[in-house]
């Protein structure tokens, strides 16, 4: 590719580097596509009146309201056109201001897309646009827990592919503990214990016996799948016995008074189960732990350069053990979501591949707890939207079902690109 040159006013030849050219091409094409899509959406709508509600479903408290969406669509098109103009003259700001531009374009595209989906509905009743954020938070909860577990382990230099296995065991034993104790909160304890147990297996084999951690992760998933299926098949169908083993209570939602009344985000953030509130605290906890405490510095140094860490007196394997076991706590909580946190009864393969998605979130978030949380929220958002749009006939259901995965591939290939894992991730440390 030829290096683009431009002659500035003073006649000095300013050489633009290739990265800048690539960025401009990328932005122009993305903003152009968004603008095109919005115009297509606009031209395809006959009746701009849509119904919406701020709640998760239409209730007395959250009545459906009608709105003429034409001005919103036009505003979206204007925003996209302005952004395209900025990109065309290469004046899209960088940093926080740039992020604002991306956010505005994203919101414009999203609202245009949603309005197009919900407008012109045939049928007796019109479906209302509902608030996607409560579902996003809910579905992202296990992913965030799993991603936090992944970040903790891998920042300390232990590859954790076995998140899915920890989820499964956590889900199963959360169901058992909750049924036995007749308390949903005890289910969380059961989930934590199971998650830590799998983490302990990971620790024993990875740190003590130095088994290849990729092999180990895959094997632990297979083991957890087989074991939970086996144990599930051992639970008799007799309801008298089954109720003590696999009929867990489900966590109640706890609305936080005051905060829950904030429109749109209130019900999303503050009308959830205790598990979700633990998740908020965990994100903060892990971030602070990794980046603000001595232990975090040690853990990260052990993950980047164990030899150097050892030289200054850090017990490499002890720190790694602590990170792996602490990760097990979070992964077990994430597993508990699939039984006591949502549906209740444990079914075969209850976590349905969510552990792999959490792993993807870790890599997408570049091994940073905040980044991984954002990636997990993106997944949760896609899953929620997919579930909501499935009731409309605008988009074929199969395409909709595939959309979260397509979004991931596009995001990873187009925006995240090459990532740099912790340097000593997966390398056992042997003191020489």
Partner 1 sequence: MTLQAPVPPPGAEPESGAPEAKADLRDPASWLPTVKVTAGAFLIALVIGAFVIAFSDDGVIESLRYFFTYPWDFFTRSADAVWSSYSALVKGAVGSSNAIASTLNRSAPLICAGLGVTLAFRAGLFNIGAQGQLIIGALCAGYVGFTWNLPPFVHLIVALIAGLVGGAVWGAIPGFLKARTGAHEVITTIMFNYLAASVLLYALSHDAFQRPGSDNALSPRVDDSAAFPRLNIGGFDVHGGVLIALLAGAAVWWLLERSTWGFELRAVGANAHASRTAGMSVAKVYTLAMLLAGMLAGLAATMQVLGNQNSLSATLPGSIGFDAITVALLGRASPLGTVLAGLLFGAMSVGGVAMQASAGTPKELTDVLQALIVLFVAAPALVKGILHIKESGGGATVMAKGWGS
Site residues, partner 1 (CB under 8 A): 154, 159, 205, 209-216, 218-220, 222-223, 225-227, 229-230, 233-234, 353, 356-357, 359-360, 363-364, 396, 398-399, 401-402, 404-406, 408-409, 412-414, 416-427
Report d(CA 259, CA 270) in Å as an integer. Answer: 6
Q: CB neighbours (10 Å) of residue 103?
A: 10
* Smallest separation (angstroms) from partner 1 to the CB of 69: 30
Residue 310 buriedness (CB in 10 A; 0-12 / 13-18 / 19+): middle
Cβ partners under 8 Å of residue 186, min gap 6? 177, 178, 180
Pick 296 or 404: Cβ nearer partner 1 = 404
C-alpha distances (whole Å) from 142 to each of 85, 337, 371, 402 are 41, 6, 15, 20
Pick 159 or 196: Cβ nearer partner 1 = 159
* Smallest separation (angstroms) from partner 1 to the CB of 260: 34
Pick 28 or 162: Cβ nearer partner 1 = 162
What phi and psi, each to the nearest 5 degrees, are found at residue 21?
-65, -45
* Smallest separation (angstroms) from partner 1 to the CB of 417: 5
* Smallest separation (angstroms) from partner 1 to the CB of 402: 4
360: helix, coil or strand? Answer: helix
* Smallest separation (angstroms) from partner 1 to the CB of 311: 21
Report d(CA 145, CA 279) in Å as an integer. Answer: 7
* Smallest separation (angstroms) from partner 1 to the CB of 31: 20
Pick 24 or 408: Cβ nearer partner 1 = 408
* Smallest separation (angstroms) from partner 1 to the CB of 138: 20
Report d(CA 113, CA 102) in Å as an integer. Answer: 16
Structural element, H or E, at residue 103: helix 96-118
Closest-CA residue to 320 (of 432, 193, 166, 431): 431
* Smallest separation (angstroms) from partner 1 to the CB of 28: 18
Pick 36 or 409: Cβ nearer partner 1 = 409
Q: CB neighbours (10 Å) of residue 121?
A: 17
- On whether the CB atoms of residues 67 and 50 are closer than 8 A, the answer is yes
| Structure-token pair, residue 51 | 């119904």
Cβ partners under 8 Å of residue 36, min gap 6? none
Per-residue burial over 225-241, b = 16 or more CB atoms within 10 Å of its CB, e = otherwise: beebeebbeebeeeeee
Pick 73 or 175: Cβ nearer partner 1 = 175
In DSSP terms, 5 is beta-bridged to 15
Pick 45 or 363: Cβ nearer partner 1 = 363
In DSSP terms, 50 is beta-bridged to 67
Report d(CA 370, CA 375) in Å as an integer. Answer: 9
- On whether the CB atoms of residues 332 and 386 are closer than 8 A, the answer is no
* Smallest separation (angstroms) from partner 1 to the CB of 47: 30
Residue 254 buriedness (CB in 10 A; 0-12 / 13-18 / 19+): middle
- On whether the CB atoms of residues 298 and 317 are closer than 8 A, the answer is no
* Smallest separation (angstroms) from partner 1 to the CB of 134: 24
Pick 98 or 353: Cβ nearer partner 1 = 353
Pick 341 or 428: Cβ nearer partner 1 = 428
Pick 283 or 363: Cβ nearer partner 1 = 363
Pick 84 or 224: Cβ nearer partner 1 = 224
* Smallest separation (angstroms) from partner 1 to the CB of 114: 22
């Amino acid at each position: 590719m030829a290096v683009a040159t431009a002659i500035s006013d003073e006649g000095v030849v300013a050489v633009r580097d290739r990265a800048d050219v690539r960025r401009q091409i990328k932005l122009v094409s993305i903003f152009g596509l968004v603008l095109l899509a919005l115009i297509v959406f606009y031209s395809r709508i006959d009746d701009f009146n849509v119904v919406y509600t701020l709640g998760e479903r239409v209730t007395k408290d959250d009545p459906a309201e009608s709105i003429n969406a034409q001005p919103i669509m036009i505003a979206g098109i204007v925003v996209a056109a302005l952004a395209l103009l900025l990109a065309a003259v290469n004046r899209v700001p960088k940093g926080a201001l740039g992020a604002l531009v991306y956010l505005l374009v994203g919101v414009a595209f999203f609202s245009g897309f949603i309005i197009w989906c919900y407008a012109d509905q045939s049928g007796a009743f019109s479906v209302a646009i509902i608030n996607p954020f409560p579902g996003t938070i809910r579905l992202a909860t296990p992913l965030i827990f799993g991603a936090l577990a992944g970040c903790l382990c891998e920042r300390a230099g232990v590859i954790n592919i076995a998140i899915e296995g920890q989820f499964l065991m956590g889900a199963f034993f959360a169901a058992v503990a909750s049924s036995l104790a007749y308390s949903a909160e005890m289910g969380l304890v059961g989930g934590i214990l199971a998650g830590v147990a799998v983490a302990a297996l990971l620790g024993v084999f990875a740190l003590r016996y130095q088994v290849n951690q990729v092999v180990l992760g895959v094997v632990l998933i297979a083991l957890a799948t087989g074991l939970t299926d086996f144990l599930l098949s051992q639970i008799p169908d007799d309801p008298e016995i089954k109720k003590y083993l696999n009929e867990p209570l489900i966590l109640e939602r706890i609305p936080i008074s005051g905060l829950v009344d904030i429109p749109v985000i209130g019900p999303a953030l503050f009308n959830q189960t205790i598990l979700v509130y633990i998740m908020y605290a965990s994100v903060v906890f892990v971030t602070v732990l990794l980046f603000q405490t001595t232990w975090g510095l040690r853990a990260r140094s052990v993950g980047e350069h164990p030899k150097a860490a050892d030289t200054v007196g850090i017990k490499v394997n002890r720190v790694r053990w602590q990170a792996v076991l602490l990760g097990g706590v979070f992964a077990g909580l994430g597993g508990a979501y699939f039984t006591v946190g949502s549906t209740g009864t444990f079914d075969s393969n209850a976590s349905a591949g969510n552990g792999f998605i959490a792993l993807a979130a870790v890599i997408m978030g570049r091994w940073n707890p905040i980044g991984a949380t954002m990636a997990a929220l993106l997944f949760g958002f896609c899953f929620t939207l997919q579930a909501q749009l499935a009731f409309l006939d605008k988009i074929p259901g199969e395409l909709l079902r595939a959309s979260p995965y397509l979004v991931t591939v596009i995001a990873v290939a187009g925006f995240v690109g090459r990532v740099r894992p912790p340097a000593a991730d997966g390398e056992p440390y042997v003191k020489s």
